[in-house]
Structure 1
Amino acid sequence: MAAEAAGSDLIHVVALLAAGVVAVPIFKRVGLGSILGYLAAGVVIGPFGIGIFSESEAILHVAELGVVMFLFIIGLEMQPSRLWGLRREIFGLGALQVGVCALLLTGVGLAGGFPISQSFVAGAGFVLTSTAIVMQLLEERGEIAAPKGQRIVSILLLEDLAIVPLLALIAFLAPGGADMSLTQRLTEVGIGLAAIVGLVLAGRYLLNPFFRILADARAREVMTAAALLVVLGSALAMQLSGLSMAMGAFLAGVLLSESTFRHQLEADVEPFRGVLLGLFFLAVGMSLDLHVV
């Protein structure tokens, strides 16, 4: 029985790898990009395709770490001085995009006859962009460092930062949400801000000495484990505080962007990022029911 279970698991692993290996080169060859290749492969092998996989949630939960590691690598390319130079784009252009789009989509909901609370919640949800898809597209096109790419990254950062106040506002608009006191809502926002400040301080004063000690041990596998610890630990801290895991990983990358260990960290994380990000898009494709779409 154990051998049969192991064989079944191996079939799933082989199916995932084969789907990506076959679909992605074909889609890139015809100019459609790797993301559509992964999504199409996921649809084919998923529960709404030939049914090799009956559910995608378990894979999706693990594969989300690929997005986290991807944002960490992007952060390694964004020095703090460079990020500070984008402050106008982040808090100006980003806030403008979120605010204007949320208002317009809320207006669409009101025009459709929905209550203002439901219209706003739906509008705010549609405003938030998929960081994984956008950043992957920018990387494939080589536009992350371009001015247009930097503006897009700025908007994505603001959207991640806007999650906490949006969630607090949605909780207030929900039935019974008015029972939540102002103190409770401010506490939630404060926890998010405190987590960001704590992560920044830890990254500024602890990470470099930490990696220097590990480097002196001359154990490459320990450095790899430490890199994963930093990425996943910062992501967990942000998730527990109500922010996105991607935001935590990105901040950790930014704080290590001027470290002497930056290139080694990038090399250690990159293989995990590539595989898990591909699995993420495959899992998203598996969850697509084309009959509903």
Structure 2
Amino acid sequence: MTALRRGGGYLLLAAAVVAFLYPIWWMVVSAFKPGASILNDPLGAGPFTLDNFRAMLEQVPIGQALGNTAVVVAAKSALTMVFCPLAGYGFAKYHFRFKEALFGVVLLTLMLPTLALVIPLLLEMKQLGWVNTYQALILPGAVDAFSVFYMRQVISQVPDELLDAAAIDGASVLRTFWSVVVPVIRPGLAALAVLTFFNVYNDLVWPIVAVNDESRQTVSVLLANLATNVTGAQTASGFDLWGQLMAACTIATVPTVIVFLLVQRHFIKGLLAGSGK
């Protein structure tokens, strides 16, 4: 009975893997097919060609979009990785007036839908003169409630005795955080870094609102615009656009796959870091 149950579990996992990986496989295969074959024979392998990539690199500013995304991801992730652990450290290990009430307010912001914040943020960016700038893409949401909450849960598991020993040795608050807390919560930081990378890399709603200048658009905005152009296309040029879209999506997927493969062990370990004491 145990073996049968284990076999059923493996079958379910295999089915889940196929369900998740098949769209990626189809995207990559379609990127190397002629545009007409993508619509006429979507499930077939089709003839192999690199024309989609050549045309896409010539007509679609994918390199510029990747560069913009790299700037936004690097800057926003840096801000998140600096300030969110510090905020979590304060909430987890220090006692101050109205701490619980303030933390409750932070958690309440998790309940606010993203769309409810778009208009106020856009008006704020307009008043600051930051529309169509990197500041508008980087600063809003750089310190978010989920990251603060997650870091608080991870840091709360650090033994208080370590902090007391650092205080006895005369270490300052920041020195204690950097020399004692950070080495202990390194897996949690790795998980936060991966989550932040994917959230910023895949963000679409805010970049498409805050930036309408092509020179500042990110990869997600570029792909959304390209997908809008090819929807319902039934001409020869439209078929070619489908091929370019698949090629652009394939290139845009490569950085996410590389990042996950490099840090998957730390990511999984870090997700479990805040699961219990």
Q: Which of 1 and 2 has higher RCO (CA within 8 Å, sep 6+)?
A: 1
Report the TM-score, using the length of structure 1 for normalisation: 0.27
Report the TM-score, using the length of structure 2 for normalisation: 0.29
Greater Rg over alpha carbons, structure: 2
